[in-house]
């Protein structure tokens, strides 16, 4: 799995949200979903977790930074995405099959479980997770009248419409 594929996905997200007005970025247009900013922050949290693997062999996606300016200011979110993309370059020299210990909460109120995984697998997961949240972001932005780029939020394996 390539770090470049994750960076490309994050750059697409950045390009989509960087110039949004704050009122659209923060709008709660659905009872069942967060704001665009909350989905962006959530995606950034996962990318940050992978970025932290440059400093260690343990990972959790459950440590999240809710309520930060990344959720409310699209320019700050765009800068953070750019910072993460630059930092991910450090993972290019890490063996893709390097063992990682993933700590994950699978049930509310329970202690985290520990699962052995690899850097490659976790990069693949974060790419797919980011695409999923981009799809949700697209729905929210369309509800606000924002035209979306073609295939934003589509997995690469999704056939193109004819």
What does the pLDDT look like over 110-159, one tens digit per residue? 898 999 999 999 999 999 999 999 999 999 999 999 999 888 898 888 87
Annotated domain spans of the chain: 3-143
What pLDDT does residue 66 have?
Answer: 78
List CB contacts of 8: < 8 A, sequence separation 6 or more.
none
Cβ atoms 85, 43 nearer than 8 A: no
What pLDDT does residue 155 have?
Answer: 86
What pLDDT does residue 1 have?
Answer: 57
Dihedral (CA of 134, 140, 142, 145) sign:
negative
List CB contacts of 42: < 8 A, sequence separation 6 or more.
34, 64, 133
Pairing, β 99-104 against β 58-60: parallel
| Helix ranges restricted to H, 52-105 | 74-88
Task: Please list the helix, strand and coil fractions of the chain in percent, rounded to the nearest 5, in that order.
Answer: 55, 10, 35
pLDDT at 162 over 80: no
| Cα distance between residue 103 and residue 56, in whole Å | 13
pLDDT digits (tens, 9 = 90+) for 65-115: 777 899 999 999 999 999 999 999 988 888 888 899 999 988 888 898 999
| Cα distance between residue 105 and residue 62, in whole Å | 7
Domain 3-143 has CATH 1.20.120.450: yes
Max Cα–Cα distance, the chain, nearest Å:
48
pLDDT interval class at 161 (50, 70, 90): low
Pairing, β 113-118 against β 99-104: antiparallel
Q: Which residue is associated with the tokens 């063992």? A: 99
């Amino acid at each position: 799995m390539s770090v470049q594929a994750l960076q490309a996905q994050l750059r697409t997200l950045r390009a989509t949200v960087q110039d949004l007005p704050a009122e659209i970025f923060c709008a709660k247009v659905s009872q069942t979903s967060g704001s665009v900013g909350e989905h962006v922050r959530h995606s950034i949290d996962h990318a940050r977790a992978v970025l932290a693997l440059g400093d260690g062999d343990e990972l959790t996606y459950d440590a999240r930074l809710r309520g930060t300016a990344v959720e409310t200011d699209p320019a700050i979110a765009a800068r953070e995405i750019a910072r993460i993309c630059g930092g991910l370059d450090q993972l290019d020299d890490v063996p893709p099959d390097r063992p990682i210990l993933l700590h994950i909460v699978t049930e509310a109120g329970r202690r985290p479980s520990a699962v052995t995984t690899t850097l490659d697998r976790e990069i693949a997961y974060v790419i797919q997770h980011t695409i999923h949240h981009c799809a949700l972001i697209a729905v929210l932005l369309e509800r606000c009248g924002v035209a979306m780029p073609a295939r934003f939020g589509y997995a690469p394996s999704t056939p193109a419409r004819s």
